[in-house]
Amino acid sequence: MMPAGRTFGGAHRGAPLAAGDEDDAGWMRQALLLAQRAREAGEVPVGAVLVRDGAVLGEGWNCPIARSDPSAHAEVMALRAAASRAGNYRLPGATLYVTLEPCVMCAGAILHARLARVVFGALDPKGGAAGSVFTVLGTERLNHRVEVQGGCLGEACAEVLQLFFQSRRNAARPSG
Ligand SMILES: [Zn+2]
């Protein structure tokens, strides 16, 4: 279960409501639509959209099974698309919206891309690297710091994952 709405450690806890929150929710809804594409393909439903100056730079959804690629997480797919489009592996000033708290690998890629901001939905208490298990994003020990905000449409993002795992458990259960 994803404990939606739970606060987490670090400097980004309890961010006050700001003028950009409606924009954030709008982009997160787009990330949720991308998560559905993963779900339709039988992948864990996580979606990501990378935005700069109010425009989409790249989109991605979780697809490691389809691609036989352990690095094909939604965030990495969105970063690859955006970097390719921008012709630059660094994407300063960009914001990544992702439905689930990034893992260690994605947090590393986010830092390498020099993103300005990460907004995520559900917490990942089993592997989150934005405070849940590790604090790779938001640490002051690294050169580049990215602003992190969790819990944007957190309940909706968690529900998509809960329903997916629930249906997978049901399918695995022997009938009768
Ligand atoms: Zn990841």
Distance 128 CA to ligand 1 centre (A): 9
Alpha carbon of 26 to ligand 1 centroid (Å)? 22
Provide the residues around ligand 1 (an ion) whose CB is within 5 A: 73, 103, 106
Q: What is the pLDDT of residues 55-80, one digit of tens each?
A: 999 999 999 999 999 999 999 999 99
pLDDT for 7: 38
Q: Note the pLDDT of residue 31.
A: 98
Question: What separation in Å is there between the alpha carbon of 102 and the centre of ligand 1?
Answer: 5
73 CA → ligand 1 middle, Å:
5
Distance 75 CA to ligand 1 centre (A): 6
Give the predicted TM-score (pTM) of the model. 0.87
- Catalytic machinery residues: 75
For every residue of 91-122, DSSP letters joined together read: -TT-EEEEEE---HHHHHHHHHTT-SEEEEEE
How large is the angle between the packed helices 74-86 and 104-112, nearest 10 degrees?
Answer: 20
Burial (CB < 10 A; 0-12, 13-18, 19+), residue 159, is middle
The SS3 assignment for 83 reads helix
DSSP state of 135: B
Residue 90: how many other CB atoms lie within 10 Å: 12
Tell me how far apart the alpha carbons of residues 98 and 62 are, in angstroms, rounded to a whole number. Answer: 11
What is the C-alpha separation between 174 and 43, in angstroms, rounded?
A: 22
pLDDT of residue 21: 80
Mean pLDDT per 10-residue run, the chain (176 residues)?
Answer: 40 50 94 98 98 97 98 98 97 98 98 97 98 93 92 97 95 76
The contacts of residue 34 (CB under 8 Å, 6+ apart) are 47, 48, 49, 59, 60, 61, 74
